[in-house]
C-alpha cells in the first residue's frame, strides 16, 4: 500500500507507538518499570564485579580476577539489552546513580565488598540468586503478553543462572580462599 493511503492520524499513531501494536497485550508502562528495576540490579552487579576484580589479587586463585572481569562485562551487556528494550517500549532507562541505587536497594541488591575472596564470591552468588529470583518471577508474571521481552529476559536469566551455578561450584571446590 502506498504511504498516501494512510490517513495522517494513522501515521501519527504509528509514529507515536513504534513497535507497540494493538496485538501487544502487556502494560508498557508496567513493563518499562520492571525492566528499569531489573536493569538497576545489573548496573549494581557490574559495579560489584568491577570492584572485586580490582581487589582480587590472591596468588591462591589467579583466575578469579579474570572471572570477575568477564562477569562484569556480561552484566553491562545485560543492562544494555534491557535499556534498548525500555526505549523500544517508549520509555527511557534510568541513568541517575542515586535512583539506580534506590531501585536496586528496594529488592535488597546493593554493592558489597567483603575483605576476603571467599566473602566476595559469596556476595556475588547472593546477588546472582536475587536476580535469578527476580527474573523468574517477572517472566512468569509476563507470560506470553510480550514475547520479545520474555525472550530477552529468558536469555539473561540463563546467563544469570550459569553465573550463580559457577560461583556455587567454586565455593564447593575451595575450602580456603584468601584475598
85 vs 66: CA distance, rounded Å: 29
Question: Is 163 a binder of Fe ion (CB under 5 A)?
Answer: yes
Question: Is 75 a binder of Fe ion (CB under 5 A)?
Answer: yes
- As measured in angstroms, the least distance from the Cβ of 56 to Fe ion is 16
- As measured in angstroms, the least distance from the Cβ of 171 to Fe ion is 15
Which stretches of 89-146 are DSSP H helices?
97-105, 117-142
Q: Give the residue with the Cβ less far from Fe ion, 119 or 166.
A: 166
Q: Give the residue with the Cβ less far from Fe ion, 85 or 163.
A: 163
Per CB under 5 A, which of residues 96..135 are in contact with Fe ion?
A: 128
- As measured in angstroms, the least distance from the Cβ of 106 to Fe ion is 18
**Strand, helix or coil at 91?**
coil
Question: Is 67 a binder of Fe ion (CB under 5 A)?
Answer: no
Question: Is 50 a binder of Fe ion (CB under 5 A)?
Answer: no
- Three cell numbers written together for 74: 556480561
- Three cell numbers written together for 40: 538497576
DSSP 8-state class, residue 117 = H
98 vs 108: CA distance, rounded Å: 15
- Cβ atoms 90, 68 nearer than 8 A: no
Q: Give the residue with the Cβ less far from Fe ion, 17 or 110.
A: 110
Q: Which of 39, 50, 52, 78 binds Fe ion (CB under 5 A)?
A: 78
55 vs 26: CA distance, rounded Å: 43
Residues that bind Fe ion (CB under 5 A): 42, 75, 78, 128, 160, 163
Amino acid at each position: 500500500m502506498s504511504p498516501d493511503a494512510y490517513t495522517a492520524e494513522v501515521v501519527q499513531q504509528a509514529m507515536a507507538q513504534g513497535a507497540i501494536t494493538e496485538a501487544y497485550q502487556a502494560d508498557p508502562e508496567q513493563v518499562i518499570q520492571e525492566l528499569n528495576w531489573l536493569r538497576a540490579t545489573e548496573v549494581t552487579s557490574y559495579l560489584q564485579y568491577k570492584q572485586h576484580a580490582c581487589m582480587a589479587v590472591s596468588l591462591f586463585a589467579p583466575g578469579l580476577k579474570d572471572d570477575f572481569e568477564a562477569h562484569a562485562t556480561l552484566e553491562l551487556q545485560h543492562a544494555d539489552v534491557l535499556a534498548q528494550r525500555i526505549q523500544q517500549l517508549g520509555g527511557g532507562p534510568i541513568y541517575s546513580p542515586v535512583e539506580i541505587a534506590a531501585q536496586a536497594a528496594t529488592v535488597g541488591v546493593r554493592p558489597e565488598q567483603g575483605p576476603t575472596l571467599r566473602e566476595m564470591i559469596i556476595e556475588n552468588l547472593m546477588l546472582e540468586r536475587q536476580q535469578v529470583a527476580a527474573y523468574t518471577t517477572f517472566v512468569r508474571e509476563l507470560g506470553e503478553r510480550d514475547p520479545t521481552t520474555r525472550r530477552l529476559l529468558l536469555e539473561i536469566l540463563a546467563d544469570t543462572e550459569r553465573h550463580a551455578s559457577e560461583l556455587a561450584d567454586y565455593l564447593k571446590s575451595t575450602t580456603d580462599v584468601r584475598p
